[in-house]
Amino acid sequence: MDLYQRMSDRSMAKLYWIARHCGDFATANEILQALRQRIELGAERPKRFKVAA
C-alpha cells in the first residue's frame, strides 16, 4: 500500500478503473480500500506548487 500513498487521488481512480475493467478485482479492491483509508484519515497529500522563475 505504500505505492498508493504516493499517488494522487485522480491517479488512483484511473488505476482502479483499469483494474476493474481488466478483471483484476483483487487489485481494484486494494486501491479502493487505500483510497477510503486516505479519505477517512484525512491524510495530507503532498501538494505541488508552481514556482515562477
Residue 31 burial by Cβ neighbours in a 10 Å radius (0-12, 13-18, 19+) = buried
Kindly give the parts of the chain with pLDDT less than 70.
1-2, 43-53
Q: How far is CA 1 from CA 8, 20, 31, 49, 50, in A?
A: 13, 18, 8, 25, 28
C-alpha cell at 39: 479519505
| CA of residue 49 relative to chain centroid, distance | 20
Q: What pLDDT score was predicted for residue 51?
A: 60
pTM passes above 0.85: no
